[in-house]
Structure 1
């Protein structure tokens, strides 16, 4: 079947990079683009005129929240509430449990994947909080999530997250990691089992990857086994690391080396490694405040940095800096890692944070962030057929509507969209030529009913923080309202 989209603006691919095409057309047959240009004269089976829209490659989110949003709670609190966001040692030893049933977890996954699609994301690699589970992510949950992803039609790079330990808050306010090493080994075995499961499915939209959790929650043994498995199975690894000073202190106390040195010593360099955040390198003011070779080491190892500017800002941190990482030869790609999964807002935040860090208005031009959200993600995945609109590429594309008066006047359509718009302007998307987002809706999904179920699950998640809190404070104490409630008759 041959389909054509026409739009006022098309972000096409030419001469190795993106190029703006006015009044452009994109034509695909089955799952492959066959034409991008100003006018297509051949026959088509389906024709859509998207009017005053920007059609661009589908967005690639490599740290995509597939959970009920927890940042709405935990990004507001200082040290006095921090203990309530982690497990207590007592909870780890005696009372840890799954907050949600398997059926509820499946609903959470569906809600999150629908949110990705509604925000124009076509390719994702998931991230979910383990704090609400008895340990990490079970095999069966990822099997169910893979089926949900197939039903919706998204392109996913999936695997159950696993860990050897969990961050715990101590009564004195300090942090530690409590370990259960056999659970970590079992988690890796389940991850390999899931790779086998996807191999048997043989679905081109689902690719197995290894997703170990945060570096401070992994033993050296588990890191080495992850690296060996990645080489043996030829799969990608994503590891959360270089995120903050607590992580750095815990790793140095346990291993006698920095997180970056630990990654290198365990053989993870050279495994096509993706590292989300990666803010705490030697250039960071909390480390040395100067370049002592960390960025060069990452670049030599071929590490892709998954930059999550909106989430970093919400936790009060930032890359030092986007332009410096890029000039060092590091492949930069993007992630959302929180709600909303809006890479448009994330790119806008990143562009302006870079100006503050580098002290210059041209520190990170918009086009470089767009490249990170498309071509950078494709490079991280080793996919030369993603992240670009050209003949021969996969038909993964998204349309954002630009004609609303609230969008303001237009200069360059991409720059104006990033400054004035959000990913909620996504109207249509296709993945491998199959419609995913259709006229702002997801076929077969009752969005109001899904929203109502998700709200109930959020309330359940919020209430469970109290039972894990080291001081056993209830959720209303941990998460007080912005303003006191109105008192009728006062």
Structure 2
């Protein structure tokens, strides 16, 4: 028997207005749902309910869509490399430092559990995770209760940094093609998973680490399957300059010339388009190309802001007609904090409080993410949509006083006010605790895993530096 839940007399509902294609506040009314979807949004629910809950001092809102994140080893790197970077590569830390912390296969389960737990606690109900395929990925994603899009990455070249100033590429075309074949198999397995909540994504890892024919073939295979395509593109100045050297084109222009861009493509980051102040171009064509091709940009401000980099600007992309969705990329895996940072960075970049609004950011984290995945049944609260939603405690101290509840949530409260999270009508987070995962156990395991990975850091560094040399402590240390 299908269980039906109704939340009675909800103080505030963030409902979807289909006529205007936007979210609206509705005050009062019920929200009813079961595993098949939403049965009532804002009216009085007359049907039979298995469970009745009070909506007093509560806001019910659609679940958030994280369109770009990485599990794998990313949670292990927390607190290590935030103050470092490669000066000759525009301060970007990724090329020289990202491969130094390697937890090995034994770390995959804990890293994935912590990432999914943190994302769900901060309101993410749909997650697009880009990582290396591993044995427990499908099982843990399904167990968590999240709506998961799993994107096994593949590439033909590895980055090599020489003497902390020159970026080169080591190519192995066969290995890349073999990884592509395995990725296609994994994406098919994800789609066939009995949970019905998982799907595959075709993910050439970076635009500059794949040959043009592999990018074209990847897009072809994705479209044959009706799956999304995601590619890191225009994410760093080093990549931007490398593509100019090879092709004379920006990443956006190059992918467009290959015929890869389209409404099923999600470009990771897409910061250094031709209008960006750091680039050598003096044109403004890339945003128009993205808008014309209905291609999505996955905007993940926190990771890049740590290195002094920012999109110029989220408001400008939206005004150009580009579909921009929100991702978290790496830690802290907090969707609500990511949204706050997206708003702040956009206003700083645009030098104006008017560059973007709280409502715009909420749209990017919900409706824009749904558009990126080709879906009209998530990222919104409307009858017939999936029952993916959050219950926010308006009495939480960090929310009070409440004038505009979304502003209180995004500017002040974040995950502290998230009381419950539902995916497909099933409770996945209750009072800040994931209900389907051993989150606390995974968090405890992470310290030993990080200690082990840090002790081995010198094995993965071309210069053989130990972790103390790679990532000096914030303060001088005495004792022990």
Compute the TM-score of the two structures, normalised by the length of structure 2.
0.91
Structure 1 partner of 2:294: 302
Q: Distance in 1 between matches of 2:80 and 2:265?
A: 30
Q: Which runs of 5+ in 2 are unaligned?
A: none
Q: Distance in 2 between matches of 1:326 and 1:62?
A: 16
> Retained in 2: the 8 A contact 1:243–1:277?
yes
Correspondent of 1:79 among 58, 83, 86: 86
Q: 1:415 to 1:180 in 2, by over 3 A?
A: same
Q: Distance in 2 between matches of 1:32 and 1:402?
A: 25
> The residue matched to 2:298 in structure 1 has which SS?
strand
1:363 CA drift (Å): 1.1
> The residue matched to 1:378 in structure 2 has which SS?
helix
> The residue matched to 1:158 in structure 2 has which SS?
strand
> Retained in 2: the 8 A contact 1:305–1:333?
yes
Q: Distance in 2 between matches of 1:79 and 1:367?
A: 36
Alignment of 1:343-362 (within 5 A): 343-362=335-354
Q: Distance in 1 between matches of 2:116 and 2:105?
A: 17
Q: Distance in 1 between matches of 2:306 and 2:274?
A: 22
1:161 CA drift (Å): 0.9
Question: How many matched pairs?
Answer: 470
Q: Deviations over 1:219-248 (max 9, x none)?
A: 222112112212222211000111121011
Give the CA RMSD over aligned residues.
2.4
Q: 1:292 to 1:101 in 2, by over 3 A?
A: closer
Q: Which runs of 5+ in 1 are unaligned?
A: 89-95, 129-136
Alignment of 1:30-429 (within 5 A): 30-67=35-72, 68-69=74-75, 70=77, 72-79=79-86, 86=95, 99-128=102-131, 137-138=132-133, 141=134, 143-171=135-163, 173-270=165-262, 272-288=264-280, 291-429=283-421
Q: 1:24 to 1:423 in 2, by over 3 A?
A: farther
> Retained in 1: the 8 A contact 2:303–2:330?
yes
Q: Distance in 2 between matches of 1:206 and 1:286?
A: 39
Q: Distance in 2 between matches of 1:43 and 1:230?
A: 43
1:185 CA drift (Å): 0.2
**Does the alignment pair 1:11 with 2:14?**
yes
> The residue matched to 1:421 in structure 2 has which SS?
helix
Q: Distance in 2 between matches of 1:272 and 1:387?
A: 17
> Retained in 1: the 8 A contact 2:100–2:461?
no
1:25 CA drift (Å): 2.2
1:83 CA drift (Å): 10
> Retained in 2: the 8 A contact 1:302–1:330?
yes
Q: Distance in 1 between matches of 2:396 and 2:82?
A: 32
Q: 1:86 to 1:306 in 2, by over 3 A?
A: closer
Q: Distance in 2 between matches of 1:33 and 1:267?
A: 38
Compute the TM-score of the two structures, normalised by the length of structure 1.
0.90
Q: Deviations over 1:317-343 (max 9, x none)?
A: 222111211111111110011222222
**Does the alignment pair 1:445 with 2:437?**
yes
Q: Deviations over 1:97-144 (max 9, x none)?
A: 99444343223222222222222111000134xxxxxxxx24xx1x52
> Retained in 2: the 8 A contact 1:85–1:469?
no
> The residue matched to 1:400 in structure 2 has which SS?
strand
> The residue matched to 2:360 in structure 1 has which SS?
helix
Q: 1:72 to 1:240 in 2, by over 3 A?
A: farther
Q: Distance in 2 between matches of 1:250 and 1:35?
A: 53
Structure 2 partner of 1:134: none
1:196 CA drift (Å): 2.7
Q: Distance in 2 between matches of 1:328 and 1:224?
A: 26
Q: 1:172 to 1:393 in 2, by over 3 A?
A: closer
1:382 CA drift (Å): 0.6
Q: Distance in 2 between matches of 1:246 and 1:387?
A: 35
> The residue matched to 2:473 in structure 1 has which SS?
coil
1:401 CA drift (Å): 2.2
Q: Distance in 2 between matches of 1:421 and 1:284?
A: 32
> The residue matched to 2:366 in structure 1 has which SS?
helix
> Retained in 1: the 8 A contact 2:122–2:334?
yes
Q: Distance in 2 between matches of 1:220 and 1:80?
A: 29
> The residue matched to 1:62 in structure 2 has which SS?
strand
Moved more, 444-453 or 111-120: 444-453
> Retained in 2: the 8 A contact 1:87–1:468?
no
